[in-house]
Amino acid sequence: MTNSEPRWLAWLRTEAAHSNITEVAQRIGYSRTTVSLVIAGKYPGKIDRIAHTVTTMLEARLCPHLQQPVSEGDCQIAALGPAPTHHPMKLGHWRSCQRCSYRPKGA
pLDDT per position as a tens digit, 31-48: 999 999 999 999 999 999
Measure the N-to-C terminal CA separation of the chain; round to a whole number of Å: 23
The burial of 61, by beta-carbon neighbours within 10 Å (0-12 exposed, 13-18 middle, 19 or more buried), is given as middle
| Residue 48, CA distances (Å) to 36, 53, 86, 92 in order | 16, 9, 46, 40
Q: What domains can you pick out in the chain, each with its CATH number?
A: 1-59 (1.10.260), 62-107 (no CATH)
Give the Cα separation of 23 and 78 in Å (integer).
26
- From start to end of 1-107, where are the E strands? 61-63, 68-70
Of the candidates 57, 61, 81, 58, the residue with the CA atom closest to the CA atom of residue 70:
61
Of the candidates 3, 2, 57, the residue with the CA atom closest to the CA atom of residue 35:
57
pLDDT at 101 (0 to 100)? 81
pLDDT at 3 (0 to 100)? 62
pTM, whole model, 2 decimals? Answer: 0.55
Residues belonging to the chain: 107
Per-residue pLDDT, averaged over 5-32, amounts to 87
